[in-house]
Amino acid sequence: MDDLALITVRQLEVAVRIWHPEAPRTVVAWHGLARHGGDFDALARELGPTWRLLAPDAPGRGLSSWSLFPAQDYLYSHYMDVAIGVLDHFELERVAWVGTSMGGLLGMLLAASDTHAPRIERLVINDVGPELERDGLRDLSRYFSVPHRFATFTALADELREHYAGFGIDSEAAWRRLALESARRLPDGSWTFHYDPRIAEQFVHDTPRDLWADWGKIRCPLMVIRGEQSPLLSRAVVERMKREQPDLSSIEAKGCGHAPMLDRPAQVTPLKAFLELSHGAPRHGQEPTGWQRPWAWLRRALLQR
């Protein structure tokens, strides 16, 4: 992280981690349910110095405020307000969005919104989609709905290795960094995770909706990344996503479950190519113009990886 911005949205302070603050292009990266913006450090390095990466910590996570009213603030509708507050703070009329899990669903909601869709220039969703596997979602809900307390830092680090095996992390240094950035010390000297335990109340208070209807409304260029062993996003759902959005680009991250860390060239190279397309894809049903035809070539190349 090269810089940190702290902004206020509805009395909550929101931390936005920044890499390459002077870069000419910007991408917003939003983390998963119980993570924080620091997870995108490797992505920022892989994208390189021409990309400014803004990674907010959602309320209740990382360096951002915890809510006194979880039933009002730990909801997608409020995260949308936070996201627009971040875009307004940085004066971003249109921006590329990369979202992991919860962050991907948030990006979908913004891109499908009648009000906010013009703000999302292109969208990458990481191991999430309009339909999630029930067993995987149930396991996620159960895990984060109970407090986690560890007598030692080692015990916390060991638990992280087991629970986040799906990240595909393959180095001791990366596991150590994940533990250091995920730990919070309690007053009695024990350890827990960095986030507010009440974030899981989102599973109770958030209003169900037809995400397939939202998916069909999106008109910006789209990419989906699926972990090869994902328990949440099935290959069948990805195939339906392609049928309903024929211009969708997709890659499968080898050796990963939920969710790829976007920390290595095999994952970031096609993502970067997608971000650096100079123009958007044509809407479904439109004939590509001369400047749009290269999009189809690149999409086929990405699908063949």
**DSSP states of 132-199:** --HHHHHHHHHHHTS---BSSHHHHHHHHHHHTGGG----HHHHHHHHHHHEEE-TTS-EEESS-GGG
Report residue 223 as tokens: 């990419």
Q: pLDDT tens digits, residue range 90-107?
A: 999 999 999 999 999 999
pLDDT at 10: 87
Residue 179 has pLDDT above 60, yes or no: yes
pLDDT at 277: 87
Beta-bridged to residue 99, according to DSSP, are 30, 125
Region 235-250: mean pLDDT is 98
Q: Answer yes or no: CATH 3.30.56.10 is held by domain 3-131+210-303.
A: no
pLDDT at 165: 94
Q: Are 218 and 108 in contact (CB under 8 A)?
A: yes
> Where are the chain's structural domains?
3-131+210-303
pLDDT at 278: 67
Residue 249 has pLDDT above 80, yes or no: yes
Which residues, 6+ apart, have CB-to-CB distance to 35 below 8 Å? Answer: 61, 100
Residue 155 has pLDDT above 70, yes or no: yes
First to last CA, the chain: 31
Average pLDDT score over the chain: 91
Reported as a pLDDT band with limits 50, 70 and 90, residue 288 is very low
pLDDT at 305: 40
Residue 293 has pLDDT above 60, yes or no: no
Residue 303 has pLDDT above 70, yes or no: no
pLDDT at 51: 98
The Cα–Cα gap between 79 and 75 comes to 6
pTM for the structure as a whole = 0.89
From 124-138, 148-162, 265-279, 288-302, the region with the lowest mean pLDDT: 288-302
Handedness of CA 92, 98, 99, 105 (dihedral sign): positive
Q: pLDDT tens digits, residue range 16-48?
A: 999 999 999 999 999 999 999 999 999 999 999
Beta-bridged to residue 122, according to DSSP, are 96
Region 74-86: mean pLDDT is 97
Residue 283 has pLDDT above 50, yes or no: no
* Angle between helix 76-89 and helix 102-112 axes, rounded to 10 deg: 80
Q: pLDDT tens digits, residue range 191-239?
A: 999 999 999 999 888 888 999 999 999 999 999 999 999 999 999 999 9
Region 244-269: mean pLDDT is 97
pLDDT at 207: 83
Q: Are 263 and 46 in contact (CB under 8 A)?
A: yes
